[in-house]
């Protein structure tokens, strides 16, 4: 007999198979020897009680029958036929890579064209960013193999479970080298140190099946005839032709948005969010979430059985959402700019999340009307310029760069000083490697963002003990939360409404936010192309 059982355990008990067995035996009312084996299916931490933190563990138990190890859903990728139809994918982010794998499954040859370098070569450019404050516009935290998600925390949870099959995406990550535990954890993450190997394995699979992956090739133009896209042109002038083009260039490919606009291909301004990254000593977050005293020496005292704590906060302030975004426990604040003279921050964590800081985006929704006011636009039609939110984003990033003083040194302010409009006379240690400079954030952020962040952070301080403290800092600016542009597409066919065979995809086009939802959208677009090609053959 097999049975799924949920057990509540103390954190240390969850690490002992012997104790888990005893709990199972107790629940099923049978002796331990009748249990031939079990494996975990779901695991989450419940820290709501001040008295005891619980680990909820669901296990599949085999009773009085032979134990069978967990069977992973593994997909066989077959070699493509020489006659396979070809599809161009612009961008090797999660959307592009998962679209390519799906196309192969469907017998279509993907040709990925990526402006950046492969994951290994990309590392050198990240080192230049962190050590010298020098941005390579083609190779950075956003551009290059694996896209923006490669050197990230690799959080793999998404709220968009209606958009596709999350388990399939997680299974594929495991098939290409991620640990199985991502299949059972409530908030799985992979970590910056592990993602590059997984991305490499995916690329090797694509090539082994007959797909192509081209690096250092920036797409600079589209070949369009009679409102049908035929292919793309790279910076070197190479022309590539295919049945369809998937545009999966992410939220930072400003040149692509500008190209579409120049060519009169419809794009729309899309609300996004902007603010700061907030960083606390991890021990403060652990203390608040696990109800344990904060340590004075900075060493987390949550013990060896609990992971570094995270949080997710949201508050309505003056009719706008203020919310935490992409929280990285045990993480590092990263310079995520894609051009010189702009400053963008984001966050990442290694798989062990063992850095002494906890950082998170803390952002406010920005709409067209806000940008119009800030940029002092004269026009009164809100939709007259689809690039307006992009211009707003650029303006704040340039201000942040200038306020930091250059070389990607970031403007920073202690949290209580920020909320009470005081210049910080000193700054605490910070994980951001290019360095920080004490600046009043009002020099960088427009008033409507600054005031809402101030109220939001103070409200969060009432909910989480210790959160509102001058031991924490805000660093500007967190501006690449999602795309400030939507590239429209037909709801059914997923093609651009004006240009046939052009498939806007994932985050840059406004249909995903995060690694998993981008991967799911890549698959969805690949399926739509398969349908289209097949219906043409009928």
Among 195, 515, 528, 529, binds ligand FAD (CB under 6 A): 515
Site track 318-337 with ligand FAD (rule: CB under 6 A), x = hit: --------x-------x-x-
10, two tokens: 């103390």
Binding piece for ligand FAD, criterion CB under 6 A, among 139-147, 285-293, 367-375, 464-472: 139-147
The CB-of-442 to ligand FAD minimum distance in angstroms stands at 26
Among 135, 142, 172, 520, binds ligand FAD (CB under 6 A): 142
Which residue, 218 or 414, has its beta carbon nearer to ligand FAD?
A: 218
Please report whether residue 308 would count as binding ligand FAD according to CB under 6 A: no
The helices-and-strands tally (H runs, E runs) of the chain is 13, 22
Binding piece for ligand FAD, criterion CB under 6 A, among 33-41, 54-62, 163-171, 507-515: 507-515
Please report whether residue 147 would count as binding ligand FAD according to CB under 6 A: yes
Among 110, 133, 154, 386, binds ligand FAD (CB under 6 A): 154
Helix %, strand %, coil % of the chain (to 5): 30, 25, 45
Which residue, 256 or 408, has its beta carbon nearer to ligand FAD?
A: 256
Of 298, 317, 320, nearest to 308 by C-alpha is 298
Among 171, 282, 346, 359, binds ligand FAD (CB under 6 A): 346
Among 38, 141, 173, 401, binds ligand FAD (CB under 6 A): 141
**Buried/exposed code over 265-298 (b: 16+ C-beta within 10 A; e: otherwise):** bebebbbbbbbbbbbbbbbbbbbbbbebebeeee
Other CB atoms within 10 A of residue 68 CB: 12
CA distance to 200, 229, 233, 435, per residue, from 139 (Å): 16, 27, 19, 21
Please report whether residue 99 would count as binding ligand FAD according to CB under 6 A: no
Of 183, 77, 176, nearest to 119 by C-alpha is 176
User: How far is 533 from 297, CA to CA, in rounded Å?
Assistant: 63
Site track 205-244 with ligand FAD (rule: CB under 6 A), x = hit: -------------xx-------------------------
| Alpha helices per DSSP H over 319-478 | 368-374, 388-404, 415-419, 447-463
The CB-of-143 to ligand FAD minimum distance in angstroms stands at 3
Binding site for ligand FAD (CB under 6 A): 90-96, 113-116, 141-144, 147-149, 152-155, 218-219, 248-250, 253, 256, 326, 334, 336, 346, 348, 506-508, 512-515, 518
């Amino acid at each position: 007999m097999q049975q799924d059982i949920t057990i509540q355990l103390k954190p240390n008990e969850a690490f002992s198979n012997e104790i888990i067995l005893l709990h199972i035996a107790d629940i099923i009312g049978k002796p331990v020897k009748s249990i031939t084996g079990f494996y975990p299916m779901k695991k989450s931490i419940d820290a709501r009680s001040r008295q005891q933190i619980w680990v909820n563990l669901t296990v599949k138990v085999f009773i009085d029958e032979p134990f069978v190890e967990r069977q992973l859903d593994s997909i066989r990728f077959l070699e493509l036929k020489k006659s396979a139809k070809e599809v161009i994918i612009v961008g090797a982010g999660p959307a592009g890579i998962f679209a390519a794998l799906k196309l192969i499954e469907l017998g279509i040859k993907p040709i990925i064209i990526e402006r950046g370098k492969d994951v290994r070569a990309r590392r050198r450019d990240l080192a230049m960013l962190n050590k010298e404050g020098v941005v390579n516009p083609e190779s950075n935290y956003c551009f290059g193999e694996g896209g923006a998600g490669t050197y990230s925390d690799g959080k793999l949870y998404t709220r968009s479970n209606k958009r596709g099959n999350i388990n399939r995406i997680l299974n594929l990550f495991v098939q290409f080298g991620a640990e199985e535990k991502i299949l059972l954890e409530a908030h799985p993450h992979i970590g910056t140190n592990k993602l590059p190997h997984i991305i490499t394995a995916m690329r090797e699979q694509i090539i082994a099946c007959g797909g192509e992956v081209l690096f250092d090739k920036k797409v600079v133009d589209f070949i369009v005839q009679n409102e049908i896209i035929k292919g793309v042109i790279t910076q070197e002038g190479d022309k590539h032709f295919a049945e369809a083009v998937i545009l999966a260039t992410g939220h930072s490919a400003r040149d692509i948005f500008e190209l579409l606009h120049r060519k009169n291909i419809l794009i729309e301004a899309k609300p996004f969010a902007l603010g700061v990254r907030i960083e606390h000593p991890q021990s403060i977050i652990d203390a608040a979430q696990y109800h344990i005293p904060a340590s004075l020496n900075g060493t987390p005292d949550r013990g060896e059985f609990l992971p570094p704590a995270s949080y997710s906060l949201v508050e309505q302030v003056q009719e706008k959402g203020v919310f935490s975004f992409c929280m990285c426990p045990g993480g590092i604040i990263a310079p995520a700019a894609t051009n010189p003279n702009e400053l963008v921050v984001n966050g990442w964590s290694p798989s062990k999340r063992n850095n002494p800081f906890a950082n998170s985006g803390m952002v406010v929704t920005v709409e067209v009307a806000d940008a119009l006011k800030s940029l002092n636009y004269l026009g009164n039609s809100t939709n007259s310029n689809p690039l307006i939110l992009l211009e707003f984003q650029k303006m704040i990033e340039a201000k942040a760069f200038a306020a930091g003083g250059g070389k990607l040194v970031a403007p920073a302010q202690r949290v209580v000083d920020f909320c009470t409009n005081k210049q910080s006379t000193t700054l605490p240690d910070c994980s951001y490697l290019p360095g920080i400079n004490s600046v009043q954030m009002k020099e960088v952020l427009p008033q409507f963002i600054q005031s809402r962040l101030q109220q939001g952070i103070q409200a969060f301080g009432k909910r989480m003990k210790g959160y509102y403290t001058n031991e924490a800092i805000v660093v500007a600016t967190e501006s690449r939360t999602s795309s400030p542009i939507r590239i429209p597409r037909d709801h059914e066919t997923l093609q651009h409404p004006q240009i046939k065979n052009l498939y806007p995809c994932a985050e840059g086009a406004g249909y995903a936010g995060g690694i998993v939802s981008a991967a799911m959208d890549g698959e969805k677009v690949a399926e739509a192309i398969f349908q289209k090609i097949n219906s043409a053959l009928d």
